[in-house]
Structure formats: C-alpha cells, structure tokens
A and B are shown apart, each in its own frame.
Chain A
Amino acid sequence: MNSTSPALAATTAEAVVVAEDLVKRYGGRNVVDRVSLNVRRGECFGLLGPNGAGKTTTLRMLLGLTTPDAGRLEVLGLPIPERAREARRRVGIVPQFDNLDPDFTVEENLLTYASYFGMSGNEARSRIAGLIEFAALQGRENAPIATLSGGMKRRLTLARALINQPELVVLDEPTTGLDPQARHHIWQRLRRLIEQGSTLILTTHYMEEAERLCDRLAIIDQGRVIACDSPRAMIGAEVEPHVIEIQGAEAREWSARLGSASGVRQRSAGDSTLLYTADPKPLLEALGETRLRYLHRPADMEDVFLKLTGHDLRD
C-alpha cells in the first residue's frame, strides 16, 4: 500500500472502524479520552494497555453497548450507537468473561446463540459441525458447559462468535486467565482467522500476544491513545534494539557508574535496571568482568510501553 491518492481512498473505503475523538466519562473522570482509531479491513488490530486503561470501554462503545459522551464512531460503515444493532449482525464478539449459557450443552449453546441472529435451526446446524471442529470440541457436542475446561470454554466462545460469519471479530482479552498451552490454542485459531482474511480487533495486556498477532497496535494508557503503528515500527522508532536487564542493588550501583556518556540509556523498572543500547558489545564485555547476572534480549513492546508511559504494563 502506498500513499498515492487512489490507494488512500481505497484504504478509507475499506475502513472497518473509524473512531474520532471518542470520550467516555464515568464519575467526572474521562475513562476514554479523545480516542481516535482507524481499523482497516483484513488486519488484526490490537489495543494494548494495562488494566483500567479504557480498552474494554472503547470496545463496548464500538459495539453500541455504551454510548460515547462525545466523538464520532462508525463500524462497518454504520453510525454507532444509532445503528449498532445492525452492525452487531455482522460482528462476532468474544467477551472478556465467558457468558456461555450454563443451562445448555455445547451444541445447544451454538444453536441458541444462532437464534439470536435470527438464524433458523437448519441454517445454524449447517454451520455448527464446522465450528465444533474449529474449536476442537468434537465428541463434546452434548457436554454441559460446566464440564468444560477454561480453554475449551474460551474456544467455544470464539466459535460462537463466528456463528454469523462475521466481517469483524472483536475480542476482549481473549487469553486472560488461560494457561500457556490453552493460550497457544487460541492464538493458533486467531491466526487461522487472520489468514482467512477476517478483521480482528483485540484488547490485551500481554505484549507478547500483541506482538505475535497484531498488524497494528494502539497503545492505550489512562484513556488515551499514545501511539499507533505496527509493533515492529514502534519498537524501531521508540527504543534501541538491544536491552540488557540486570537486577538488584548491586546492579544499580554498577550501572550508575556507567554514566550517560556511554551511549546507554537506563531505566529502572521495579527491581530491574534496563540498559538500552544500539551496540551491546562494550556493555557485555564490561558486564563479563563483574559477577552480575544479566539478560540480553531484543527490545519489545514492553520497552516501548515503558518508554512512552513511564510505567510498566503490569502496573
């Protein structure tokens, strides 16, 4: 994609979500503070931020489940919240907390959810086999929800979100609370959706998840979008490529003696001292002469986040 004007026009036409200066206030506080987003068809777009940053509220506004106090919002070309119900007909939702129907089995859950979209039983049944397979729940069609593991529930929720063949899938913290293996299962499926050309919007406070899945990310902190780009571009633009982490008081003293002349940027995060540099060689050599333990790694989104917000993602 380049920036000649026809291409630009095409990009705008293909915008799945256009948000301009969205504001949401609760109790006099701007929980979402002039957020602007532009999500393109076919991309996986992430909202990355700590808990309470306003990610979920932003999603709820996109779905018409919360009315913005100010700003303009369009999803799939429809004004929100005015025509939110029509938009939801073409959107799939994976909520942060599972709301599968505990009164039903796996299959009944899909059937019932399909009925909320006005789908007939036959229409739904024709889709269900594929969805069960997608969720790897074959043989569990008649299992009550209570007998499923957390990972299975999540996969079923994801499958449920696809019942209406949505153009856009919105996922609120899709892997929060899952063990690493279950998380990988979800990631696999999300990648499959991305390969098939679905548009995804997901919120997360796992930078690993954001980096792995998202084409573009908006970093949100205290209700504001403070940066928006591809993970690689953001890392390249914001932080030095090499990071050396050292821990403890001794490490702090050692790094204090380095001074600022060495071309090394320093930052403390909790107990750790982070050393950022374009050329790690001299640092590693110097560290080799000490008894300090260190970790040398490439810069990631966590570093971008720390630099831009001044605090940790987990804060």
Chain B
Amino acid sequence: MTTRTATLLPRPSLRFLPVWRRNLRVWRKILIPSVLGNFGEPLLYLLAFGYGFGRLVGQVGELPYMVFLASGIVCSSAMFTASFEALYSAYTRMEEQKTWHAMLGAPLDIDDVVLGEVAWAATKAMMSAVAILLIATGLGLVADWRALLVLPVVGLAAFSFAACAMIVTALSRSYDFFMYYFTLGITPMLLMSGVFFPLDQLPPLVSLLAHLLPLAHTVEIVRPLMTGGEVTGLALHLGVILAYGVVGYAVASALLRRRLLR
C-alpha cells in the first residue's frame, strides 16, 4: 500500500484542541478537589522531606536541602501528573467510557485524540508545577524571577512523559499493566535522576543511564532556574526531552491506530 508510511507517521493538527478542551471542561467541574490535590500533596512532601531530611542532611553543595528538593519536586510531580493522566485517565476514556470512540465517529483522527490527550496531560502537569512554584516561593525557596522559565520546560517535559505513558496505555489490556511501567520505568527514573539527592552521589554508570532518560535532563534545567544557578548544556537537555516527546507521540499514535482501527 502506498499509504504505509502515511499511516505510520502521525499527522498532528489543531484538531487536537477540542479533545484538550473536553478534558479541561471536565476538570473545571471538579475544580476544588483538583486544585487542592495540586497544592496539598507537594506541600506535604516538601514539608515532610524538607524538614525531616533537611535537618539530617543540612546542605547539598551550596544549597539548603529544602531549596535543592523544591526544584526536584517540581520535576517529579510533573512526571507523575502527566503519567497518571495519560495512563489511568486516558485508559478510562478509551476503554471504559468509550469517549475516544465518540470522538473518532466525529471528524477527528487517532492522531488528534492522542495529541489532545498528551497536551492535556502536559497542561495538568503544568498546573501542578505552578502550584509548587507558588508554595516554594511562599516558603522562600526560589531565587528569582527566572523560576518562571521553569514552566515552559516543565510543559515540554510533561508532554514527553505523557507521550511515553500513552505508549503503555496503547499496549495495556487492563489497569494492572501500568504497575509494570511504574515499577520498571518511573520509580527507577525517579530515584536516579537527582530529584532527592545529587546525581554525583551515584556510580558513573548509573548517572550515564539516568541521562538516557528525560527526568535527569529536566532536573538539570529546572534546578538552576529555580535556585539562581547557571544552566549548562541546555540544548542537549532539551534535545533529549524533545526526542522522547516526538518519538513517544509517534509510536503511541501508531500503536493506537493499530489497536482502535482494526
């Protein structure tokens, strides 16, 4: 078939917007618990770890532990928010609620639905980042206005996390399958990407491995932006994150086309 490559590669378009807006509309209905969740959980983490551990650890390099941790939490929280949305919520809309089926009966393609879902997951992650930034600012853990530049970075990273999670959703036959992804993917990445402690505490091999994944690169941009440091190797960091996003989106779209249009 001549359309082979055409059906393999996604064709993104602005048609993703109504899908994104649909999810926003639902989110607005449960605004209060959503926002409370955004603020509540990271606040607890920051306080518990920051005060608990911080007392033991004291300084990480030149930074007080709370300051060090806040930037890590922005990144990990973006990862979790985006992943959960693109796994559990997206799967519910695909399999339980058949929301996607309704969309596909309208003039939308799989590519539009996937892009809409991934963009929405990224949006939700950005909202949680905003919440944490506000908390961190309130606690005096943010150096200066450059912290605002964190938002686009987190948005991009969250897009990539969501796109990768969408691959897992595309392959899943039930919710149970997601545990593999968390146990084998997300949790190891969380522990070795410099969120809770600096990467140089780990053997060089682990650090190398971590840099094959997007979270470490996200932390390395976000941390200096929030703590007033110098961002180095920006192009490489963004490149890796972007690559996960683009490849993730393409693979997820192809898999879902195969799954839903059989």
Query: Which A positions have Cβ atoms within 8 angstroms of B?
Result: 26, 63, 65-67, 82, 85-86, 88-89, 93, 95, 97, 99-104, 108, 112-113, 115-118
Contact = CB atoms under 8 A, between A and B. Distances in A.
B200 to A, nearest CB: 46
Contacts of A100: 102
Nearest to B30: A103
Given A99-B97, A99-B101, 9 more contacts: A65-B104, A93-B105, A95-B102, A95-B105, A99-B105, A103-B29, A113-B102, A116-B107, A118-B18
Contact of A99 (B3, B99, B261): B99
Chain B contact patch, size range? 20 to 34
Nearest to B99: A101
A115 B18 contact: yes
B106 A88 contact: yes
Nearest to A105: B29
Q: Main secondary structure on chain B at its contact with chain A? A: helix
Nearest to B104: A65
Interface in B20-46: 21-22, 25-26, 29
Contact of B21 (A65, A67, A104, A115): A115
Interface of B: 3, 15, 18-19, 21-22, 25-26, 29, 97-99, 101-109, 260-262
Given A97-B98, A103-B26, A108-B25, A88 B105 contact: yes
Nearest to B27: A103
Contacts of A118: 15, 18, 107
A95 B99 CA distance: 12
A118 B105 CA distance: 14
A104 B261 contact: no
A89 B107 contact: yes
A117 B107 contact: yes
8 contacts: A26-B262, A85-B109, A88-B105, A99-B98, A101-B102, A104-B26, A116-B102, A117-B107
List the 10 closest pairs (A to B, CB-CB), nearest first: A116-B106, A99-B98, A93-B105, A115-B18, A89-B107, A99-B102, A103-B26, A88-B107, A99-B101, A85-B107
A85 B101 CA distance: 14
A117 B261 contact: no
Contacts of A99: 97-99, 101-102, 105
Contact of A86 (B29, B103, B107): B107
Contacts of B26: 103-104
Contacts of B102: 95, 99-101, 113, 116
Contacts of A88: 105-107
A260 to B, nearest CB: 49
Contacts of A101: 22, 97, 99, 102
Contacts of A112: 18, 22, 25
B146 to A, nearest CB: 37
